[in-house]
Structures are given as C-alpha cells and as structure tokens.
C-alpha cells in the first residue's frame, strides 16, 4: 500500500491548504498507480529570479528505495516540452512511498538530452 511522506523541510513549511491539496491528489492517484516511478503534477509558479518551479508528487511504486541522482527531468505542458534539466533529490524515497517535491528549472540549467523522467501538465 502506497503511503504519503513529507520530507522534513516540506513538513515544517507547507501551508495547510497546500497540504490538503497534496493529500487529496495523493488519495485520488494512489488507487490507480502501477509498479514503477511516476510523477503527478501539482502546480507551477515562478520565483523572483524568473525560474520555473514545478511541484509534483513523486510516486515510488517499487519495493526498493529510490535515489534520484543526476537524473534528466523534462516538464511538458499539453505535450509540448517547456524545460529539461538535470536534478538530484537530496533524500531517498522509500519503497511504496509518495513524496511531494519541487523541481526548479532555470534558463542556466537547461539541457537537450533525453529525459529519464517526465512531468506532464
């Protein structure tokens, strides 16, 4: 059974309304997940530097712990590629666990290689 986990920095700073939205999205998705690693889009924003912030749920539906290290992630809107960058998530995601995370795409970290993971909006 998939469980929802908040990394400590998220757990301390997340707004109650965002926590509720994440919990609701997790409940809707958890019933339909198949084995593998899946990303569910939550929301997007831009920060003061003009960087694109993409919040997702990372679903590790495998039995083993997930380490995202130097992984190529692409963000798509309506099947159009918006950004591709290299990311590492500094914490591991236990097996059968879903965790919210924000990927920050900036002009300076864009790459053109094929994605290992895709976030679709």
Strands ordered across the beta sheet of 117-120: 80-87, 71-77, 117-120
| pLDDT score recorded for residue 99 | 96
Residues 6+ positions from 10 with CB-CB distance below 8 Å: 100, 101
Closest listed residue to residue 96, CA positions, set 20, 21, 24, 30: 30
| pLDDT score recorded for residue 43 | 95
| pLDDT score recorded for residue 11 | 85
Using 70 as the pLDDT threshold, list the residues of the chain that sit under it.
none
The answer to whether the beta carbons of residues 98 and 57 sit under 8 Å apart is yes
| pLDDT score recorded for residue 47 | 93
| Averaged pLDDT of the chain | 93
| pLDDT score recorded for residue 110 | 83
| pLDDT score recorded for residue 109 | 83
Half-sphere exposure of 37 (CA within 13 A, CB side): 17
pTM summary value? 0.92
Strands ordered across the beta sheet of 3-4: 3-4, 97-105, 52-60, 37-46
| pLDDT score recorded for residue 21 | 94
């Amino acid at each position: 059974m998939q469980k929802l986990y908040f990394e400590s920095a998220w757990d301390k700073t997340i707004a109650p309304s965002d926590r509720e939205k994440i919990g609701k999205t997790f409940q809707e998705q958890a019933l339909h997940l198949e084995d593998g690693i899946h990303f569910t889009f939550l929301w997007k924003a831009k920060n003061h530097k003009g960087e694109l912030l993409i919040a997702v749920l990372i679903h590790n539906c495998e039995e083993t712990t997930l380490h995202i290290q130097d992984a190529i992630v692409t963000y798509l809107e309506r099947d159009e590629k918006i950004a591709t960058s290299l990311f590492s998530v500094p914490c591991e995601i236990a097996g059968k666990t879903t965790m919210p995370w924000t990927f920050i795409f900036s002009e300076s970290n864009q790459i053109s290689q094929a994605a290992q993971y895709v976030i679709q909006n």
